[in-house]
Each structure stands twice: as C-alpha cells, then as structure tokens.
A and B are shown apart, each in its own frame.
Chain A
C-alpha cells in the first residue's frame, strides 16, 4: 500500500508547524488539510475525538495527535535526517527540553500575550527563557540539537518565529537581544534552515492575526 500522509492543521499554529518541519526534514510527500477551527471538520473530530485539535497526522488512515508525539512518530517511521539523538541519555535530554517548551515556555508566553505584556507575566517568560539561554550557553553549539536541528529546536519553533511576530503585533518585548544573546542568535540561525524556512507561515499573516486577536482596540 502506498504511503498516504495527510496533515490536518492551520498554518498559523506553531504546533502544526512542528509537524510540517519534521515532514519537510524527512522529505515526506503529504497533503495539507486546512482546517477551519471555528467549524471543525467531521474528520478532525473523528481523528482527534479527545482534544479536537490540530495538528493531526494521518498515516495510511491512522491518526496520530499531539505535536511532539507526531514528531517522534515521523522520526521513527521515516529514516533520513534523525530528529532525535541515538544515545538514550541524549534522547532523554531532548525529550526533557521539548516537554519544557510545552510545560513552561509556551504557557508563560501565552499569558504574557493575553495580558498584553503585563510586567509579572513578562518576568515569568524571561525566567523560562533563561533556562533555554543557559542550555545553549552550556552546549556551546549552533542548535539545541548540536550542529543540526533536532526535536528540541523544532519544539522551540514558536520561540524563534512566533514570539517575534507577537512582539511586533502588540508592541511588547518578550525576547530582548541583550538579555538573551544566545537565544536570539539561535532564532536567526533556526529560521534560516531550509526545511524551517519552507515550513513557516508568512510573518505578515501572523502579525495581522495577532493584531486583530490580541491588540488594543
């Protein structure tokens, strides 16, 4: 049976983007199924009944949900560029940091955005990002994955691209260059990777969306 791969998503979602990047890194041919989240397709509800969210990867009719689970699945099914380290300890470290993005980084950024840059919320963002800054310092490498991007970099896509868009849309500062030199440098390198570049939505689109959704009237 031919490999049939579909990705249900919306281009504005940083979580969907993780799956897109992974598929592109592995050179997987797939169909992008654009969802209207205000009017979810019966397929989406069928394939992700628990959360009814995107992304959902459909591989030969089998659904996989949750972006980091999807990325690991893609890594295990399609050989080629490895998205996770081989070594069990390094793999554990990668999973730890990927989880950190979702458990700590994203919620603090979301809170800072919805509060339109309230001081305490921004301080909490900085506290979370400081761990990433330190990790890059300690590793001394171009990416969290070393010379090449891996699961951690992919998990941090929203830091590299979405934070900048939100900063411009709302006129707030979440990732000051002087406070986070390593993270800033990493962001520039990351968004310039070909597979990432091919996967990111247009920055202008995100800015327009955030101005509309969160901006001051």
Chain B
C-alpha cells in the first residue's frame, strides 16, 4: 500500500510544483498544511536541515527540496508520462535551466518585489535580463519542455501566477507584451492544463499575503539601516 503525504503551505510556489507532479501522475496523497511561523514537530523531524516545505513523505520516508522531489516522483512513478526526457543531454539541459530558475530568476524577481524606490529601480534591470533569457528558451517551442509540457514547465510554472502577484503587490511591470510575447503565450497554454488550472491558491488570499510580506520586508530593511 503506497502512502504518500505532502507537507506544504497553502501559498508556497515550490510546494505547488509537487502538487502538480502528484496530480499529473495520478498519485493519491494526503496534504498536511504547515504554518511556517509555528512549524510542526513532524516537519522539523522530516526536514531537520532546512526546516522548509515542501517535504514529500513516501511510505514514511521523507524527501526534501522541490527539484529533488520532482525527479524522485518521476523516477518512482515511472509508468505514466515522464516529466524529464530520456536523453542525457536533454536531461542535463533541463537540470541546468531548473537551477537557473531557482538560483537567478526567482531571486532577482523577488528582490524587485520586496524593495522600493531607488533600490527597486536597481533590482528591475537584472530581473528583466533574466526574463529575457527565459523568453529565449521558448523560441520554437510550445512549452519549456518542448512540444508537450514537462519538468521545466513545472519549474517555471510559478511565473504563470506568482509573477503577476509580485507585479501587483510590488507596483512593478515586468511581463511586457512586446518584450515577452513567448512567455505570455506559454502562460496561457500552461494555465489551460486542467491540473494546473484547478490547483492555484486563491488569488485574493495570495495578493493579501504577498502584500503583507512586502510590507514586512520593507519595514525590516528600514529598521536595520
């Protein structure tokens, strides 16, 4: 009997990757919602190193780090459509872009979203440059993973919802139609996928949450200068 549990928060885009992956593979799982301000003893036991979500629990054993979890799910439930390609070069390329997203794209956009004034203006440049690189990845492709969606779309998927949230709460415009036509076209296709469509957290709740988070970052930064 397979027992699969997912420790997540309602809002984490990293945990959402795993929700998508589990649903796409048709895996039955139980959700355990965490309050990161009051982490459960189970979360601390299963992810002692980072104390973060998502954590996947498969038959009692924990797997942490969303990209690691995605590959684990793909390899373990390997009879249904695979997320990653078979070819080693294609796999290496996908892993490279996943790392680029997690190391550079998210951090640069986050920085533009949590800052204001001159600091924010300065942060927008790198964020847009990284998005230029992302845009190029879609040239000649339907999805980041190629003809059909896969691993890289799950990785970049946060852009389809959370980027808009960061733009609205941060008071910035990043996804300009003229500069990023491919990302915008991909966004529509990605959001049309039934599993994706049904899994987004509530829009208003996300706006409220990320508005508060931005205010918190700004006041903390002001306090420490």
B72: Cβ under 8 A from any A Cβ: yes
Residues 60-82 (chain B) with a chain A CB within 8 angstroms: 61, 63-65, 67-69, 71-72, 75-76
Q: How many residues of A contact B (CB 8 A)?
A: 23
Taking a contact as CB atoms under 8 Å apart, the answer to whether A69 and B96 are in contact is yes
Check if A209 is an interface residue, CB within 8 A of chain B: no
Q: A-facing mask of B42-75, CB < 8 A → 1, else 0? A: 0000000100000000100101110111011001
A6 beta carbon closer than 8 Å to chain B: no
A92 touches B69 (CB 8 A): yes
CA distance A50 to B75 in the complex (A): 29
Q: Are B100 and A50 closer than 8 Å at their CB atoms?
A: yes
Assess whether A73 is in contact with B71, with CB atoms less than 8 Å apart. Answer: no
Q: Is the CB of B75 within 8 A of A69?
A: no
Contacting residues, chain A, for B58 (C-beta < 8 A)? 89
- Closest A residue to B91 by CB, please name it: A76
Chain B interface, >50% SS class: helix
User: In the assembly, what is the distance between CA of A89 and CA of B76, in Å?
Assistant: 8
Beta-carbon contact of B76 and A88 below 8 Å: yes
1/0 per residue A73-95: CB within 8 Å of B? 10011000000000011011101
Report Cα–Cα, A50/B63, bound state, in Å: 30
B64: nearest chain-A partner, CB-CB: A96
With both beta carbons as reference points, the residue of chain A lying nearest to B72 in the complex is identified as: A92
Q: Does B189 contact A (CB under 8 A)?
A: no
Which chain A residues lie closer than 8 Å to B49 at the CB level? 100, 104, 131
Q: Contact at B95–A72, with CB atoms within 8 Å?
A: yes
Assess the A88–B65 pair: CB atoms within 8 A: no
Q: Considering the chains assembled together, what is the distance between the CA atoms of A50 and B67 in angstroms?
A: 20
Q: When chains A and B are docked, how far (Å) is the Cα of A104 from the Cα of B49?
A: 10
Interface pair B68/A64, CB less than 8 Å apart: no
A66 contact set on B, CB distance < 8 A: 95-96, 99
Set of chain A residues within 8 Å of B67, measured between Cβ atoms: 95, 99
Interface residues of A (CB under 8 A from B): 50, 59, 62, 64-66, 69-70, 72-73, 76-77, 88-89, 91-93, 95-96, 99-100, 104, 131
